[in-house]
Amino acid sequence: MNPPVSSLDPAVAQPLARLLLAAADDKLILGHRNGDWTGLGPILEEDIAFSNIAQDEIAHAQELYRLAAALLEPRADPTVAANRLAYARGPAERLCAELVVIPDEFDWASAVARQFFFDHFDAVRLPRMQRGSYAPLAELAGKMHLEIGLHLRHFDEWIRRLGHGTAESRTRIIAALAKLWPYALGLFEALDGQERLAGAGIDPGTDAAAEAEWRAQVAAVIKSAGLPPLDDTAAPRLGGRQGRHSPALAELLNELGEVYRLEPDAAW
Amino acid sequence: MSDPFDGVQPAGLREAIREALGRIDDPEMPISIVDLGIIAGVTADNGQVTVRITPTFTGCPALEMIHGLIRQELGRIPGVAQVRIETVFDPPWTAERISDAGKLRLREHGITTPRPSAGERLVQLGAGSAAPVCPYCHSTQTRLDSPFGPTRCRQIHYCPACHNSFEHIRSAPPAASAAPAPRA
């Protein structure tokens, strides 16, 4: 992907745009998956909660796509350009981690585990992004960090509720956490050119220290839920940040982009 | 909180803009966008007025409508040739930005806001801030029913004294005491 001329050094603008797109793709796909639960949550209050949380993720994605559009298509209408980045890119161009791609098969424990891993990922990377030198991302990261506070509380509680619940809830959350753990580790996979960001004072929030912090946070909640620890030696499922995805993503993008493709660039 | 309209000269234009924006109510709540505290700043330069908005939440679906209403109302002011609206996240919106007049009007409609009013310090008791006072019977023994409500900035409380539910506006993150009480 070649960025056009921008005021940033192109050597920095390109990996920065990639970082913004990866974060946006994560949140758009995750929000879409969460939206599938509207009307199907275990209780009404959970429908409302999950929809609110999906709304946050998609809103964050929208703002991230806008920032990416400002770098990649500075002369285009920002809304039109952001929509193109959100809807028109194919599966091989998507930089989301596979965690958000694999279907949860309408298993509530999987939906909980997915958001639990992701919210703690946000909790470690957003403050680091907030301290970065690229002001538009730093400010947005600050706002996003405030908003995920309620997500964290909500899903940490669900992990505990399922862990301390019934034999069935315990079995299912253990299985879901174990199944998604290698994919969650993929959240920290490096993006191409990422090493050029540090020199420019931009922190993607995915270095070894961030990952260690995330592992510790996740382990603490799991322990408090009375659940067995996750396998420290598990190998991460990589490829998502390089555009290598399972066929599930193509299916999802087909559905996601259906209305957009009827009339691309339309104002609705 | 400083006056977001301070940067506008002359005074006549400043007050016309302040009044025009004060006439715009949030599409989903009985409060003006000025009283809500989402106006981060306004500047005017040779007929071009720039309004900086700090949204309550990034995902607020009312924002586009608010943009349209701002253009409509400001466009009526003589001397305003062009209106530009910018979204900013610094300073981030918090419920503490709601004006006292706004809090009063919300309460009259059964919607509470964090107390106390701007300027006072809250005594932290235990896990978090004080429970909202029931807007109907003024009981202080209200409880949180759901941290999520009809919009992202509202949560649902219940008053066991008068058996009414009511909405409470809060920022992110919410008070530490946001864990819902177990149902009886």
Q: ipTM of this predicted complex?
A: 0.85
Task: Judge whether A224 is closer than 8 Å to chain B, CB to CB.
Answer: no
Chain centroid offset of residue B72 CA: 21
The letter for the amino acid at B113 is: T
Q: pLDDT band for B183, please (50, 70, 90 cuts).
A: very low
Task: Judge whether A47 is closer than 8 Å to chain B, CB to CB.
Answer: no
Are the beta carbons of A61 and A28 closer than 8 angstroms? Answer: yes
Weakest mean pLDDT among B64-68, B93-97, B175-179: B175-179
Tell me what pLDDT residue A8 has. 79
Please, what's the largest Cα pairwise distance for chain A? 58
Q: Which residues of chain A have pLDDT under 50?
A: 1-6
The letter for the amino acid at A96 is: C
Q: Which two tokens stand for residue B4?
A: 């977001």
From B161's Cα to the closest Cα of chain A, the distance in A is 23
Please determine, for residue B174, whether its predicted confidence score (pLDDT) is greater than 80. no
- Contacting A with CB below 8 Å, chain B residues are 57-61, 88-90, 92, 146-149, 152, 171-174, 178-179
Please determine, for residue B67, whether its predicted confidence score (pLDDT) is greater than 80. yes
Is the backbone peptide bond immediately before A247 cis, with ω within 30 degrees of 0?
A: no
The enclosing H or E element of B158 equals strand B154-159
Contact call for B148 and A48, based on CB within 8 A: yes
A25 vs A62, A64, A115, B77, CA distance in Å?
A: 10, 9, 15, 42
Contact call for A139 and B89, based on CB within 8 A: yes
Mean pLDDT of B82-86: 96
Mean pLDDT of chain B, nearest integer = 86
Chain centroid offset of residue A44 CA: 25
Tell me what pLDDT residue A1 has. 34
Contact call for A143 and B147, based on CB within 8 A: no
Tell me what pLDDT residue B171 has. 83
Chain B residues whose CB is inside 8 A of the A151 CB are: none
Tell me what pLDDT residue B172 has. 78
Contact call for B57 and A147, based on CB within 8 A: yes
Mean pLDDT of B167-180: 62
Please determine, for residue B176, whether its predicted confidence score (pLDDT) is greater than 50. no
Tell me what pLDDT residue A10 has. 86
Tell me what pLDDT residue B120 has. 40
Tell me what pLDDT residue B121 has. 42
Tell me what pLDDT residue A7 has. 61
Residues B88-128 have pLDDT tens digits of: 999 999 998 999 999 999 999 999 998 754 434 444 333 34
Q: A102: Cβ–Cβ under 8 A, 6 or more apart, which residues?
A: A180, A183, A246, A248
Are the beta carbons of A236 and A189 closer than 8 angstroms? Answer: yes
Where b means 16+ CB within 10 Å and e means fewer, B133-161 reads bbbeeeeeebebbbbbbebbbbbbbbbee
Contact call for A48 and B146, based on CB within 8 A: yes
Tell me what pLDDT residue B118 has. 42
Task: Judge whether A211 is closer than 8 Å to chain B, CB to CB.
Answer: no
Are the beta carbons of B37 and B4 closer than 8 angstroms? Answer: no
Tell me what pLDDT residue A202 has. 95
DSSP A204: -
The letter for the amino acid at A84 is: R
Task: Judge whether A164 is closer than 8 Å to chain B, CB to CB.
Answer: no
Q: Which residue of A has its CA nearest to B177?
A: A153
Bridge partner residues of B166 (DSSP): B157
Strand B82-87: give its sheet, edge to edge: B39-45, B48-53, B82-87
Mean pLDDT of B59-71: 94
Chain B residues whose CB is inside 8 A of the A153 CB are: 147, 173-174, 178-179
Please determine, for residue B173, whether its predicted confidence score (pLDDT) is greater than 80. no
From A147's Cα to the closest Cα of chain B, the distance in A is 5
Contact call for B179 and A157, based on CB within 8 A: yes
From A234's Cα to the closest Cα of chain B, the distance in A is 33
Interatomic CA distance for residues B61 and A59, integer angstroms: 9
Mean pLDDT of chain A, nearest integer = 94
The enclosing H or E element of B167 equals strand B164-169
From A238's Cα to the closest Cα of chain B, the distance in A is 30
Chain B residues whose CB is inside 8 A of the A139 CB are: 88-90
Bridge partner residues of B44 (DSSP): B49
Weakest mean pLDDT among A230-244, B56-70, B125-139: B125-139
Contact call for A56 and B152, based on CB within 8 A: yes
- Beta-carbon contacts below 8 Å between A and B: 62
Q: pLDDT band for B178, please (50, 70, 90 cuts).
A: very low
Interatomic CA distance for residues A203 and A19, integer angstroms: 10
List the one residue out of A141, A138, A134 whose CA is nearest residue A8.
Answer: A134
Residues A1-50 have pLDDT tens digits of: 333 334 678 899 999 999 999 999 999 999 999 999 989 999 988 998 99
Contact call for B147 and A58, based on CB within 8 A: no
